[in-house]
Amino acid sequence: APGTWPVIESGTHSVTSFYLLSALDLRWNADGGIERVPPEQAIFVQVFMRTFLVAAAVTLATLVLGFPLAYLIASVPKGLAAILIVAVLLPFWTSILVRTAAWTVLLQKFGLVNDLLLWLGVADDRLDLMYSRIGLIIAMTHIQLPFTLLPIYSVMRTIQPSQMKAAYSLGAKPFTAFRRVYLPQVFPGVMAGCLLTFILCLGYYITPALIGGASDQLISNFIASYVNVELNWEMAAALSFILLVFTLALFGIFARILGLDRLKLV
């Protein structure tokens, strides 16, 4: 074909954009321009979108669970708070692989999670949670929960209860006092926890590989496949570079909005 050799030549230089374009479902055409690949060949943009959507869902789930739990730990006496913190950190004593393997047992069709859902009346029949998006999000949420909770807790423990009491004494309702007095002070910890969880979720490999289905594999799984199976290190490097650029851009946006000096990671 007339356009074959120009395309081959574009990918043989010492420095080339061939793989970077391929990682974005783009390619050089015979005229030297950039065009989209046919729809049946376009996979990477969809995988990147899936990765970001799963990371966002896990971040939201950890925030919904972690915020009230952090508030509880910050409100109880120090002795009980220490016990609860140890309980939160307990999963860190095992590797991600072990925790993921445990979830492969819990999420089975006749596993403990399905038994619990049936007992609570949430489900009428057993659900297929293994090799599904919802099962993947459940497992990742459990693994990532401490990364969201701890930054929030580190900020909450510095807030004096007298501030909320002062707001109540001035006539503020509980929700108004929470929104105008408590939440602005906790916000840096919330943003830091969400940022940390979201960025870590972008690089997940083991959990999607063991629990996610064929349509739930994230970008890290494709990178690992290109490195270990297909031995296409150039494509793996291009995908990794794009993921790194997206991650740095996200961190820059957070830093711009919040300011690095206000990010409370610990």
Nearest to 205 by CA among 248, 233, 240, 235: 240
Of the CA atoms within 13 Å of residue 178, those in its CB half-sphere come to: 5
CB-based contacts of 37, cutoff 8 Å, min separation 6: 22, 25, 26, 27
Domains of the chain: 1-42 (no CATH), 43-93+133-262 (1.10.3720.10)
Residue 27 dihedral angles phi and psi, to the nearest 5°: -160, 160
Residuewise pLDDT in 10s, the chain (266 residues): 555 555 555 555 555 677 788 888 887 777 777 778 888 888 889 999 999 999 999 999 999 999 999 999 988 888 888 899 988 888 888 888 899 999 999 988 888 888 888 888 877 888 888 888 999 999 999 999 999 999 999 998 888 877 877 888 887 787 888 888 888 889 888 988 999 999 999 989 899 999 988 888 999 999 999 988 888 888 899 999 999 999 999 888 877 776 655 555 55
Global pTM?
0.86
Q: How far from the centroid of its chain's Cα atoms is residue 98's Cα?
A: 19
- Say if CB 152 and CB 190 are below 8 A apart: yes
